[in-house]
């Protein structure tokens, strides 16, 4: 009985981890609505907003959203109809600043499906979690997606006190270097879909103090009962 009560008390004060999804605008690049093969993009000097994502990069690069045909991927988009893309002979980005702020102690996990189109060479890529322009966590260029396919890439960080309360920023990036040469391709690019950001925070259990007090009270009552002695006889 004592063991059960002590366990109850410990559970009452033990914090629990709660996970939640952080809102991202247009995480699957489904806006704008595009016909098969159509796209919207920004070119150097960039600064164009496409479907809630800001394009950025250097000379000789483009970033945007496309509805890929089977010439790109035999299964087309892995989620919905559209995907984001970076086509570059130089560095390029798709960037989004979130309404959510960076909170010390929380664990953030950024994930994305990254694709290598059948009709494009694959660029070196990364997905990054930034705060006020400072990189906090990055993932890529591994695992490498297979030709004509997508792979899941993740990046995780436990938030420290630096930049606490500042807006979180997602950056999808392609470098100027080639990751995989496809002899059937004349151009190189990298594609993204289904961007997600999860947070895990350790929080107290609701009413934990009340539960703990109740458990301690029960423990005291059982102790008094067990030490009260046997009833006296012969009186």
Instruction: CATH number of the domain at 190, please.
Output: 2.60.120.260
Whether residue 42 is preceded by a cis peptide bond, meaning omega within 30 degrees of 0, is: no
Residue 212 lies in a domain: no
Beta-strand pair 61-66/187-203 = unpaired
Average pLDDT along the chain: 83
For the CA atoms of 194, 93, 199, 136, the dihedral, rounded to the nearest 10 degrees, stands at 150
Please state, for a pLDDT cut of 90, what percent of the chain lies above it: 62
Question: What integer pLDDT is reported at residue 171 of this predicted model?
Answer: 97
Residue 219 lies in a domain: no
The per-residue pLDDT for range 39-94, each reduced to its tens digit, is 999 987 788 999 999 999 988 889 999 999 999 999 999 999 999 999 978 899 99
* Residue 25 in this model has a pLDDT that exceeds 80: yes
**106: nearest Cα among 202, 193, 234:** 202
Region of 4 (left: φ > 0; alpha: ψ -120 to 50; beta: rest) is: alpha
- 3-state secondary structure (DSSP) of residue 214: helix
Domain assignment of residue 101, yes or no: yes
- So what's the pLDDT on residue 196? 98
* Most confident listed range (13-22, 88-97, 202-211): 88-97
CB 181 within 8 A of CB 196: no
181 vs 104: which has the higher pLDDT: 104
What tokens does 177 get? 């270097």
Average pLDDT over residues 196-216: 62
Residue 152 in any domain: the answer is yes
Report the distance separating Cα 113 and Cα 146, nearest Å. 12
Is there a domain that residue 104 lies in? yes
Is residue 11 in some structural domain? no
* Domain that includes residue 99, residue range: 21-199
Q: What mean pLDDT comes out for the span 98-127?
A: 95
Q: In this structure, is residue 230 part of a structural domain? A: no
Is pLDDT of 160 > 80? yes
Nearest to 172 by CA among 105, 84, 82: 84
Per-residue pLDDT, averaged over 113-121, amounts to 94
Tokens coding 226: 């067990």
Coil/strand/helix, residue 223: helix
pLDDT category of residue 3 using cuts at 50, 70 and 90: very low
Q: Give the pLDDT confidence of 163-199 residue by residue, as tens digits.
A: 999 999 999 999 988 887 766 666 889 999 999 999 9
Q: Which residue has the higher pLDDT, 33 or 181?
A: 33
Q: What is the chain's Cα-based Rg? A: 27
Instruction: Quote the CA–CA distance of 108 and 198 in Å, as a whole number.
Output: 6
Is 46 a domain residue? yes
Longest CA–CA span in the chain (Å) reads 106
Q: How many domains does the chain have?
A: 1
| CB crowding 200-225: b at 16 or more within 10 Å, else e | eeeeeeeeeeebbeebeebbeeeeee
Contact 147, 134 (CB under 8 A): no
Q: Is the pLDDT of residue 225 over 50?
A: no
Tokens for 200, please give them: 């895990």
Per-residue confidence (pLDDT) for residue 116, from 0 to 100: 95
| pLDDT interval class at 224 (50, 70, 90) | very low
In contact, 100 and 23? CB cutoff 8 Å: yes
């Amino acid at each position: 009985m004592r063991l059960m009560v002590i366990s109850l008390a410990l559970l009452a004060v033990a914090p629990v981890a709660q996970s939640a999804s952080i809102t991202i605008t247009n995480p699957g690049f489904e806006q704008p609505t595009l016909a098969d093969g159509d796209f919207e993009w920004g070119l150097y000097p960039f600064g164009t907003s496409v479907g809630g994502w800001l394009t950025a990069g250097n000379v000789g690069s483009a970033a945007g959203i496309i509805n890929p045909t089977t010439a790109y991927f035999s299964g087309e988009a892995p989620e919905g109809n559209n995907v984001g893309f970076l086509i570059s002979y130089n560095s390029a980005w798709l960037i989004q600043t979130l309404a959510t702020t960076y909170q010390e102690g929380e664990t953030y996990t950024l994930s994305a499906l990254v694709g290598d189109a059948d009709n494009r060479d694959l660029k070196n890529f990364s997905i990054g979690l930034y705060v006020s322009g400072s990189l906090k966590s990055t993932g890529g260029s591994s695992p490498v997606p297979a030709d004509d396919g997508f792979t899941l890439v993740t990046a995780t960080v436990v938030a420290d006190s630096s930049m606490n309360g500042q807006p979180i920023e997602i950056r999808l990036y392609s470098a100027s270097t080639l990751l995989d040469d496809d002899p059937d391709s004349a151009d190189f690019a990298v594609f993204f879909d289904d961007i997600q950001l999860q947070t895990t925070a350790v929080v107290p259990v609701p009413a934990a103090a009340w539960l703990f007090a109740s458990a301690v009270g029960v423990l005291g009552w059982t102790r008094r009962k067990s030490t009260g002695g046997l009833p006296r006889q012969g009186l």
